[in-house]
Amino acid sequence: MAIKVTQGAEGAQGPLILLSTGCLFHLPLRQVADIAAKAGYDGLEVIVSSPRIAPGPEMDEIDAMCPVRSLHAPFRQWSLWGGHLNAWRATTALANALPGTTNVTLHPPDSGMRDAIQYRWFSKASDLNHILDTRGRVGLSLENLPWPATPTFGRDPMQKLLETCREKRLGLTLDVCHLGVSGRDPLRALSVLPPDMIVNVHFSDARGHMEHLFPGQGDLPLNDFLKQLAALAYKGYLTVELQPGAFPPGPPEGLIPILKQLLAQVRGLVSGS
C-alpha cells in the first residue's frame, strides 16, 4: 500500500507523524485527539480497545479534531467482539467509515497454544483483504512482535514475517522497540528490509525488556534510525507509541509542550532537515 506523502505541520517534506492513542489510553479518546492536534501531530493511530470504538458520530468528531490515519486492531479480549476474526472485521469496518484512514495494523497470531485457533484460520487465509472487506482503499499491515533472541529451529522470525506479508499481500508495521527487546539492531534491520513493504513505523525506545519508553530513556539508536529513514525517503506513517508511564506526572495539558518538542525533534531528523 502506498501512502501519499504530504507537507508536515512545519512545512517539512516527509512521513506523516502520528500519535498512538495508546500513549494516553487512560484518557478519553476525545481528549487524546485534542492533545495530539494542539501538539501539531499529523493524525492519530487509534487502538481499537473496545467495541464502543466503532463507526458513528463520536468517531466522526474525533476524526474531525485530529485525523485518524491508522487503526490498530484489537490484540486481546477478542470475545468482546465475538471472536478474533470479528474483531478484525470490526476494525476494517471502522477504517472504511473514516475517510482518511488508510492502514490497519494487525498482530499476527502466534503459533503457540494461546493463539492456536486464531493462528489456524489466519495461516489458511489466502485473501485477508477480501475476508476483512478492505474495499481496495484500506491497507493491512502486520507488526513485528517481541521474538526470542535466538530464532527457533534456525528460522529468522523477521524473514518469516516478510514471507507472510508477501503471501497475503500485506504491508509491514515496523515496531522499533520490539526489535530492541528482541535483541535486534534496528539499524541493521532497516538496512535489509524492503523499504516499499514498510507502511507504518511504531517509534519508541527500549531498555532490556522495558518497552515503549520515551526516546532517550532506553538504549536504542533512535536518532540514527530516523536519519536512516530519511535517507530511504520513507513516505509511510511514523507513529509515536509510548506507554503512559513514560511521561512525567502532571495534568494532561502539560503533555502538549512535551509532545510538541518530541514532534519537532522527530520531524527534523526524519525529514533530513
**Predicted confidence (pLDDT) per residue in 48-94, tens digit:** 999 999 999 999 999 999 999 999 999 989 999 999 999 999 999 99
- In the structure, what pLDDT confidence band is assigned to residue 132 with cuts at 50, 70 and 90? very high
**Least confident stretch, 5-19, 167-181, 193-207, 248-262:** 5-19
Q: Is 201 helix (H, G, I), strand (E, B) or coil?
A: strand
At 155 the pLDDT is 72
- 20-38 average pLDDT score: 97
At 6 the pLDDT is 37
User: Best-predicted range by mean pLDDT among 3-12, 30-39, 128-137?
Assistant: 30-39
At 4 the pLDDT is 37
Give the start-end residues of each E strand in the chain: 6-7, 13-14, 16-20, 43-47, 68-72, 103-106, 139-143, 171-175, 198-203, 205-207, 210-213, 237-240
**Least confident stretch, 6-15, 43-52, 134-143:** 6-15
CA 15 to chain centre: 13
User: Which amino acid type is present at position 271?
Assistant: S
User: Which amino acid type is present at position 146?
Assistant: P
Q: In whole angstroms, give the CA distance from residue 123 to residue 109.
A: 9
- In the structure, what pLDDT confidence band is assigned to residue 110 with cuts at 50, 70 and 90? confident
**Least confident stretch, 41-45, 56-60, 133-137:** 133-137
Q: In whole angstroms, give the CA distance from residue 131 to residue 122.
A: 11
At 260 the pLDDT is 98
At 12 the pLDDT is 47
Domains of the chain with bracketed CATH: 12-270 (3.20.20.150)
C-alpha R_g of the chain: 18
DSSP 89: H
